[in-house]
Amino acid sequence: MVRDTGRRHDTALLLASLALSFALALPMVMTTGSSAPAASANSPPTIASMTPLTGSSFGSDATIAFEAAATDADGDPLTYTWAEGGRVLGKGSCLLLVGMPDGRHTVTLNVTDGKNWTVRSIDLVVEEQQGRSWALPVVGVLVALATAAVVGVYLRRR
């Protein structure tokens, strides 16, 4: 009988050993084929700044400079697209528009990294300038020329 108990003990030990081996091997079997790091989700770009500010107002003959700065946590190259309604106005982080029609406008910026995108809009008003004098732009040009001349003289003396 002692031998019988020994066999039962050996059998129980063998079964326990097999169960433990199986339990330890099971997680490895489940991860086989996926030992490479799982692909991380791509983050959308973040628009850090954008001008002009919503609510800005411009004359109908104004040149409006749209500028944006965006980043991407994944380091993907970014594409900037400016649009109004369904019409693309231009591409790039900077866009100059001359002679937008009078009225209210919603200009939308879409920044994409090729996988995800971020959209932000600017509401602005373009209105005809009544009774505007031609003197102000002329004075501005004269001041710019005078400043350039002073800077030129200063740089020659250095």
**26-81: pLDDT as tens digits:** 332 222 222 334 456 899 999 999 999 999 999 988 999 999 999 999 999 999 99
Task: Please report which helix (H) or strand (E) contains residue 155, including its range.
Answer: helix 135-157
Nearest alpha carbon to residue 109 among 88, 80, 71, 134: 80
Q: What CA–CA distance (Å, rounded) separates 158 from 153? A: 9
Domains of the chain, each with CATH number or no CATH = 46-129 (2.60.40.10)
pLDDT of residue 127: 93
Please tell me whether the overall predicted TM-score, pTM, comes out greater than 0.75 for this model: no
